[in-house]
Amino acid sequence: MNLLGRGADPSFWQGLTEKKEFARYVRELNNYWKKEGESYEISVLPYSKWKLFWETGDRGEYESLYFSRRRLIEHALPLSLIYPDKTEYVDKLTDVVFAILDEYTWCLPAHQDQNVRNDNSRVDLFASETAFHLALIYTLLGDRLEPLIRDRIRVEVRRRVFDTILSCDSYGWWETGKTNWTAVCTGSVGCAMMLLEPELMDEYMTERLTRAMDGFLSGFEDDGVCTEGCGYWGYGVSYFVYFADMLKTFTDGRIDYFKREKMRAIATFPQKMFLSGKSAVSFADGNLTLEYLFAVMHRLKDEYPEDVLIYSPDFGSFSGGCGRLEMRLFGAIWLNADYYNNPADSDTSFEEYAQNAMWLTKRTPSYGFAAKAGHNAEMHNHNDVGSFIFAKGGRQILADVGSGVYSRQYFGKERYTIFEPSSRSHSLPLIDGEEQFVGRDAAARDVVYERGSFSMDIAGAYSTGAVRSIKRSFVMDDESVTLTDVFERTRECRIVERLVTFIEPEMIGDRVIRIGDCTLEIYGDASVSVGTEKAAAGTCYLIDFALADGTDEFKVVMK
C-alpha cells in the first residue's frame, strides 16, 4: 500500500531538478548543505545541558543541539532522494540517525515532568515526531540503509513509542486534549505505525487514534480560528493533514476527515491572518510575521479549491523550524504547480469576523487591522482582552509583541510577571497601575460586530472596582481605523492608555504622532510619555497617555 503518493516514486525525486517550480526547494536544500550539512559534526547531548531546564529554566542550550540533528535529517533525506548517486548524503544521514537512536530519550527536558528517575520512553511532541521522521527514512530509503540501521529503527521506535502507547488505554492528557499536542502526537504515532508496522493499526488502534483526533477538531469552533496562535495552527493542522491523508488511503477511503464541514473553515484560517505583506496576526504566542506551509496549504487547496487562497510563493515556506522532516518532504510531494505559479493576489482585501473566537481581521489597500475580544484563559494565553494590531507597509505599526522566550518560567506560575503574556505589553488601558488579570472570568462583554465596526466592554478583564465599564470601539473605513474608549468610573482613579510599537515614535505637535508609515491623531485631554521595554522580538516603545482628571473618553485615529 502506497501511503506517500508520488513521494514513493524514486523518479519523482530525481526529476525535481528539471522542474522550475521546484527550483527554490532544491536551492534551499543545497544552500543548507553547503553552509551546515557538509561540515556538520555530531555533538553529544550532555547531561549538563539537559538539566539546565530544571536548574535555571533554560531550554535553549540543550534544544539547539537536539534540533540540529533533526535539521540535518530534514535536508539530508530529500537530498539523498534527489541525488541517489551521491553517497555523502546517505552517509551523513546514517551517522545522525545512529546518534538519534542512541539518545537517552527523544522527549525534551521541558516535557519530561521530572528529572529524578530513568524514564526514556515518554511520548511528547518531539518523541512522536522523531518516530515519524525515522519511519519516513526507513520507508523512503529502504535497502539503501544498512540492515543494522533498519533493524535499530524498528526496534527503537517500537520500544520507545509504540509499546508505550500500547501499554495503556489512553496515554496522557494529549490523547484526550484539544490542542496542537493532540494533533502532532496522534498524527505522528498513527503515521509511523502505518508506515513501519501497519498490523498495529487494527480496529482498536484506529478507533483510539481517530477518537483523539476528533478531540483535536473539537477544539476548533465553527469559525475555524486557532486561538493558540497562527504558528500553532500550522503546526497542529499539518500533522492532522498528514494523518488524515494517510488514513484515507490506509482505510480505502472509509475514513475521510476532509469531508467534515468544519474542515473547510479550519482550512481558510491562515489566509485571513496576513495583514500587510507578511506582517500577520500575532495574538497569543504568535509571531509578528507569517509564512504559510506549502505542504498543508496545497493539500487543503486540493480538497477545498473554491475556498482556500494560496498567496504568492514568497509568502510560503517549506520548513516549520525545529528540523521537521515532514514539512520539508510533503512540501515537495503535495506541491501543485498550478497553485504555486498562479497565486491569489497578495493585496486581496477582506473583512472577516470569527464569532466564536471574537477575532476581527481586516485588510484594505491602505492597511491591515486585527482586534480581539475573548477572554484570558485561552491556550497559550496572553492577558489581552480588547487588544489590537494596526499594520501598514509590510509591518506592524501598533503591535502585538507575540511570544516571549520559552522557558520553565514562561509556562509556570511566573508567566504573567513576564512582559509578553501580560497586558502591559498590549495596547490596553492601565487602571490605577493595574493590568488585566488571568482567567476565564476576565472576559469581554456586550461584544457587537457590524461591518465596519467592532465594540465591546473590557472592564471585566480588570479586578479593580474603579471602573464600571470600559467601552472600547473600533470604526473602520478604507483608509483609517478609529479607536474610542469611554470609561465609566465608580471613584477617582488614574487611567493610562497605552499604545505599543516596535518603531520609535515621532511627536508632531501636541496631538499627532508619526510611527513609520502611520499617523496617529489623538483626541482627549492627556499627557504623553514614552518608555521602552525589551521583548523577545525587539525593543518596544510604550506610548502612555495619562488621562487628565475628569476625562472619560480617549480617541485615536490611525491612518
559 residues of the chain, pLDDT tens digit each? 899 999 999 999 999 999 999 999 999 999 999 999 999 999 999 999 999 999 999 999 999 999 999 999 999 999 999 999 999 999 999 999 999 999 999 999 999 876 778 888 899 999 999 999 999 999 999 999 999 999 999 999 999 999 999 999 999 899 999 999 999 999 999 999 999 999 999 999 999 999 999 999 998 888 999 988 888 999 999 999 999 999 999 999 999 999 998 999 999 999 999 999 999 999 999 999 999 999 999 999 999 999 999 999 999 999 988 999 999 999 999 999 999 888 887 568 999 999 999 999 999 999 999 999 999 999 899 999 999 999 999 999 999 999 999 999 999 999 999 999 999 999 999 999 999 999 999 999 999 999 999 999 999 999 988 999 999 999 999 999 999 999 999 999 999 999 999 999 999 987 899 999 999 999 999 999 999 999 999 999 999 999 999 899 999 999 9
pLDDT, position 228:
87
Task: Report d(CA 536, CA 515) in Å as an integer.
Answer: 21
DSSP states of 483-527:
EEEEEEESS---EEEEEEESS--EEETTTEEEETTEEEEEESSEE
Task: Report d(CA 291, CA 249) in Å as an integer.
Answer: 29
Which alpha helices (H) appear in 23-141, and where do they start and end? Answer: 23-32, 47-50, 52-55, 60-82, 87-102, 125-141
481-489 vs 467-476, strand pairing mode: antiparallel
Is the CB of residue 420 less than 8 Å from the CB of residue 402? yes
pTM score of the predicted model: 0.94
Residues present in the chain in total: 559
Q: Which three cell numbers stand for residue 506?
A: 515621532
CB atoms within 10 A of CB 146: 12
pLDDT, position 70:
98
Q: Could you give the 3-state DSSP secondary structure of residue 388?
A: strand
Phi-psi group of 374: left, alpha or beta (phi > 0 → left; psi -120 to 50 → alpha; rest → beta) = left
Q: Could you give the 3-state DSSP secondary structure of residue 175?
A: helix
Q: Could you give the 3-state DSSP secondary structure of residue 201?
A: coil
pLDDT, position 118:
87
Helix (H) or strand (E) holding 239: helix 230-250
pLDDT, position 348:
81
Task: Report d(CA 534, CA 59) in Å as an integer.
Answer: 19
Closest CA to 385 of 377, 397, 393: 377
**Domains of the chain by start residue, with CATH:** 5-341 (1.50.10.100), 350-558 (2.70.98.70)
Task: Report d(CA 109, CA 119) in Å as an integer.
Answer: 11
CB-neighbour burial class of residue 18 (10 A; exposed 0-12, middle 13-18, buried 19+): exposed
